Chains A and B, each alone.
Chain A
Amino acid sequence: MSSAGRLPTGGRIDRARPIKFSFDGRSMSGFAGDTLASALIANGVSLVGRSFKYHRPRGILSAGSEEPNALVEMRAGARREPNTRATSVELFDGLQAQSQNRWPSLGFDILALNGLVGGFLSAGFYYKTFMWPAAFWEKVYEPLIRRAAGLGRSAGAEDPDHYEKSHAHCDVLVIGGGPAGLMAALTAARSGARVILADEDFLPGGRLNAERQEIDGAAGSIWAATVAAELSSMPNVRLMRRTTVFGVYDGSTYAALERVNDHVAVPPPFQPRQRMWRIYARRSILAAGALERPLVFANNDRPGVMLAGAVRSYINRFAVTPGQRLAVFTCCDDGWQAAIDAAAAGISIEAVIDSRAEASPALGGELGKRDVRIFRGAEVIRAVGSRGLQAIEVRDASGRISSILCDALAMSGGWSPITHLTSHLGGRPVWNESLPAFVPGTLPSGMSVVGAANGAMALARSLAGGRDAGASAARDFGRSASDAPLPKADDEPATVRALWHVSGGRGPAFVDFQNDVTAKDVGLASREGYRSVELLKRYTTLGMATDQGKTSNVNGLAILASELAQPIATVGTTLNRPPFTPVSIGALAGHHRGKDFRATRLSPLHEWAKTHGAVFIESGAWLRASWFPRPGEKDWLESASREVRAVRSAVGLTDVSTLGKIDIQGPDAGTLLDRVYCNTFSTLAVGKARYGVMLREDGFVMDDGTTSRLATDHFVMTTTTANAVGIMRHLEFCHQGLWPGLDVQMTSISEQWAQMAIAGPKSRETLARIVDRQHDISDAAFPYLTAREITILGGTRARLFRISYSGELAYELAVPAGVGNAVAAAIMEAGTDLGIQPYGLEAMGIMRIEKGHVAGSEINGQTTARDLGLGKMMSKKKDYIGRVLAERPALAAPDRWGLVGLKPVDWTTRIRAGAHLIPIGAATTTANDLGYVTSVAFSPSLERWIGLGLISGGASKHGTRVRLVDLLRGSDIEAEVCDPVFYDPKGERLHG
């Protein structure tokens, strides 16, 4: 033998390509085509991990993604991946794996003591204890439990690899590339249909690679390779290896995970580690095969006890041998094949134990000649050994118990179709007593199931089923499937007699290996009343581990059925949920992390703001210029105060491009506006702007903004930045859903126009320098609330609105987005000698608070127009959205919280938003809560801290004093309640 455990010949491995890897720091080697599990076996490793609860030593149970035991931490550092199934890791050069859930070492694990007191730690023990003293839970008990539980360790640093998503469409999605899936895909593909074949393995062929059956007179694996090659060459086919279809969603949407680069140490540059696919398939053919069931007997978890089908995979596909002396324990015909294959590979067969007294003598065939001990009607009652298997105890048909030395035991409890994906939309598999197994029940629409997944546990039937399903799918698209003859193959014997639990052996008999759920636990749960399968699952954790009970669920519920003396069909199964196998969180996020989590919107004036040194902040999807620091300024407040002073004394320019802008045209535009705003717009004169307030139908304020009339049938609406998208949607709803008869056309023009406010006493003078001469913007020609289309800078189209958020003489100028930066620069240049300064969101916020204008902190969905002092805008003359419910008693109550201004009595004291208003001398309790501070600012104009707030009774409280209580930050400040307009209450500056 070339190395311990490696067979001298055979296998679908590339002996010309040796691969170095390490496990627990020990370097080893394998070959290309190995999995980590097969390579470990080749290197004589049988102890690979520790179980969840009892920290029992565990080896390798399976050869596929159902593996519950051989979980390792792959890679290291930021790429560490806990709980990786060694059985589905493709070996690569430099692979590093470590065992997990053990301390200090895999061979000696302190917590294995748990196993010794297993009698006390039976299912649900923690629900019954750890209750006293109560304070001990978080401090003592829970940390212990948490540390002992879990499995591997997560990486401590950001995942350095990148992930992506992609979409695919096809006529037929074939899930699984075993004989059934390959045949289905081939048949559909030859008809010309668009086919995707996905298989989670890196080598197509399914069981054909693990078994020695022949197709068309050659090894099945050769047939598989030939078919895969033909499929790969067809333009209408996408053959996806290393791709697990993990979920079925509504509307024939399938989710798949492609492990693009898990078989290399580090993904090549620009390539993702994994790619998540959404596949939209008109038809799907599930050909996922079947899972072999373990047998439940004492110490059945000892390393060396393996599924019989896995033993065949290791011998036939990987040319490794799990042991030198193999015994086989089965209750079905298929189990015998392990012995036959092992014998053919030169492995010594110590015994074949079949629980069926009537097992056909033909099954032994070859074996008989080799003098293999064959037991019929016998059972393995116990495995002996600790970190490896040493012997088995067999109870023969007469009840006599004998011990057989062996280092590997292949067990087969029969096969269960992989029906998982049939259940993701709620379908329940149904019990088929003759298999015996659960087979697909109601299927997702468009899905058919073939091969072992459909209970066809034999090769020829799998091929035929695949061909028929492929042809029928093709016919659904009006294509005729070529009548290529079925390849020739035989059906192997496949009868089973269920054997759910072998009692009588000393030691725990595991049902769920990973979570250490034993047959005894199942019995206990049933005795304690947790009798629904779902309660059994939740009480014992059966089927809740990383393998989701792939090897344990059926055994568990069968044992429950026998405890309850009910048929399995009545007991039923637990619900399968996606994903079929666990999917990395990174893959489900794809590109969307870090800065790419969500799109960033940049204003058309972004460059301009950047040039002036803006500090940007995230504001919803936007980045907005918050303030423009100058050298020597110590904080944002100093900068923003300076900006405010510039606006109040000279002129400032700020970016308001992020406001929503909606173009509304048509003869009925005014009518629509009247219905969506609480105030009236149909009467607005052409060339004028008006402030409007929209209510929700429940009577609360939805949004505000100005709307201007550019022509009789043409309005331009602005919305707040935050609500831009929502208001457009709302208007479309009102139009299309409520009043389709209106002749109105609405278009978002938010992206089209850059918009800037030019504010301050010198704003007109500044603007006049860029506005084309033919447009008169003098106060007389262009008074407050004028809105007109003009040109600037020698012909550039623009819209000029004389509106003011700052309270100064001010304009908003809209220009096409492409020239936004250039226009802003031109205005700055024009205003240099007038003292123009850029100002940001902070300064804007200060000025609107000085003016008592409401914003997002006041229009918070809990306030009415009356609460905000806008009650007089609610028209009495017309119907509009929100009118009726705004009159509900509680919305019109006098003690509602209304908008007021707040001034700390000591003007130097800083106040903060979020503080609550409490009467002076009253207890600081909810009962005395009068309202809260919504917004605050240091007003450079008033040189003091000011705030807006909502207070019970609103304006009636002007002149009274309250405490602003901020318990979180420990402040309690006396303030006077006042009118919310602190600055220029008469509004004279607007008209300058």
Chain B
Amino acid sequence: MADRKIASRSALAGLAKSGALGVSKGVPGVRIREITDFAAIGIIARRGRAAEVAAILSRHVGSPVVDAAKRAGAGAVSITGTAPGQWLAISRGPGTSLDELRTELAGLAAVTDQGDGRLIIEVTGPRARDALAKGVAIDLDAGVFKVGDAAQTSAAHIGLQIAPIDEAPTFEIISARSTAASFWSWLESSAAEYGIDVA
């Protein structure tokens, strides 16, 4: 993506003020952080080219990318399967870009910019699972939903993509920009009883 000369506004801007929310005694059960500096592209392999695309993606993140609902990449770039032959690539950090990957995929896959349309947050803390289970219907148990797994599902009628990214556990949640305020309203009210710390 080309350099921007004007400021980009995060999806949660004006909503999630940093600090404590909900019950305030003791250690907060849930910590939430919005990721604001990132780029994202959607990738759909051309007909019959999924394997080649996966190979390029694997090379790019330095770990195997499979054609399944999995999240690969431990560093700045992660690649998550979203549908057969489809992935979402995310690159975190200031001034990030996925232009190089985009170039490599030319002719093999349809690539679309998606970073501006997304909200990314990380939810962690001892009660993160309990809070998320109030909307997310998939099994979030550590033995079932493991680091490397990913799922697209919904919470509170809002679609999202979720992946455990460490064993803390920390969950990366990617959702749509337009519903960020409603999503936040749900998350806050679900986590409030455990105490929330917004980074």
Contact = CB atoms under 8 A, between A and B. Distances in A.
Q: In the complex they form, do A and B come into direct contact, defined as C-beta atoms under 8 angstroms apart?
A: yes
Interface of A: 162, 164-169, 194, 269-272, 278, 280, 591-592, 595-596, 598-604, 607, 622, 663, 665-667, 714, 742-743, 745-747, 749-754, 791, 793-797, 816-823, 826
Contacts of B115: 752, 816, 818
Nearest to B21: A270
B133 A591 contact: no
B141 A194 contact: yes
Contacts of A823: 6
A598 B46 contact: no
Contact of B8 (A168, A591, A666, A816): A816
A898 to B, nearest CB: 37
A600 B6 contact: no
A593 B23 CA distance: 22
A819 B6 contact: yes
A752 B189 contact: no
Interface string B30-50: 000000000000101111000
Contacts of B51: none
A591 B186 contact: yes
A280 B138 CA distance: 9
Contacts of A746: 44
Nearest to B176: A751
A745 B117 contact: no
Contact of A745 (B1, B23, B110): B110
A743 B47 contact: yes
A353 B178 CA distance: 72
B20 interface: no
Given A169-B144, A753-B116, A791-B2, A743 B46 contact: yes
B59 to A, nearest CB: 21
Nearest to A601: B178
A663 B110 contact: yes
Contact of A168 (B1, B109, B133, B183): B133
B168 interface: no
B111 to A, nearest CB: 8
Given A270-B193, A751-B116, 18 more contacts: A165-B135, A169-B141, A269-B23, A271-B193, A278-B137, A595-B185, A599-B157, A599-B182, A665-B44, A665-B110, A714-B110, A749-B114, A751-B176, A753-B117, A754-B116, A816-B8, A817-B177, A818-B9
Contacts of A270: 22-23, 192-193
B28 to A, nearest CB: 12
A822 B4 CA distance: 11
Nearest to A595: B185
A817 B116 contact: yes
Nearest to B156: A591
Interface residues of B, number: 54
Contacts of A754: 116
B123 interface: no
B42 A747 contact: yes
Nearest to B7: A822
A818 B47 contact: no
B136 interface: yes
B10 interface: yes
Contact of B7 (A666, A743, A819): A819
Nearest to B109: A745
Contacts of A280: 137, 139
A726 B44 CA distance: 21
18 contacts: A165-B135, A166-B130, A167-B137, A169-B141, A270-B192, A280-B137, A592-B157, A599-B179, A743-B46, A746-B44, A751-B176, A752-B113, A752-B117, A796-B5, A816-B116, A818-B9, A819-B9, A822-B9
A596 B182 contact: yes
A196 to B, nearest CB: 12
B100 interface: no
Contacts of A750: 117
A794 B2 CA distance: 10
Given A164-B134, A269-B23, A591-B156, A607 B9 contact: yes
A278 B135 CA distance: 11
Given A747-B110, A752-B116, A823-B6, A599 B134 contact: no
A278 B186 CA distance: 18
Contacts of B63: none
Given A167-B137, A269-B23, A600-B179, A666 B47 contact: yes
A166 B134 contact: yes
B2 A164 contact: no
Across the A-B interface, give the 6 residue pairs with the lowest CB-CB distance, nearest first.
Answer: A751-B117, A818-B8, A745-B110, A665-B110, A752-B117, A599-B182
Contact of B9 (A599, A791, A795, A821): A821
B2 A797 contact: yes
B127 interface: no
Contact of A599 (B136, B141, B156): B156
B139 to A, nearest CB: 4
A341 to B, nearest CB: 41
A814 to B, nearest CB: 11
A504 B59 CA distance: 90
Contact of B3 (A167, A714, A795): A795
Contacts of B178: 601-604, 622, 751
B190 A164 contact: yes
A823 B3 CA distance: 15
B190 A591 contact: yes
Interface in B125-151: 130, 133-139, 141, 144
Contacts of A817: 116-117, 177
A537 to B, nearest CB: 36
Contacts of B135: 165, 591
Contacts of A793: 5-6
B23 A751 contact: no
A453 B97 CA distance: 63
Contacts of B141: 169, 194
Q: Which of A604, A622, A747 has the most CB of B within 10 A?
A: A747
B181 interface: yes
B82 to A, nearest CB: 10
B30 to A, nearest CB: 12
B198 interface: no
B121 interface: no
Contacts of A167: 133-134, 136-138
Contact of A604 (B137, B156, B177): B177
B89 to A, nearest CB: 13
Given A602-B178, A666-B47, A752-B117, A819 B185 contact: no
Contacts of B137: 167, 278, 280
B71 interface: no
B110 A601 contact: no
A628 to B, nearest CB: 20
A84 B33 CA distance: 43
B4 to A, nearest CB: 5
Nearest to A796: B4
Contacts of B185: 595-596
Contacts of A600: 179, 181-182
A914 to B, nearest CB: 31
A601 B4 CA distance: 25
A736 to B, nearest CB: 10
A169 B176 CA distance: 27
Contacts of A818: 8-10, 115-116
Contacts of B68: none
B97 to A, nearest CB: 12
Contact of B118 (A166, A742, A751, A797): A751
A826 B6 contact: yes
Contacts of B109: 745
B158 interface: yes
B18 interface: no
B4 A795 contact: yes
Contacts of B8: 816, 818-819, 822
Contacts of B186: 591, 596
B189 to A, nearest CB: 6
Nearest to A713: B110
Given A194-B141, A591-B190, A666 B46 contact: yes
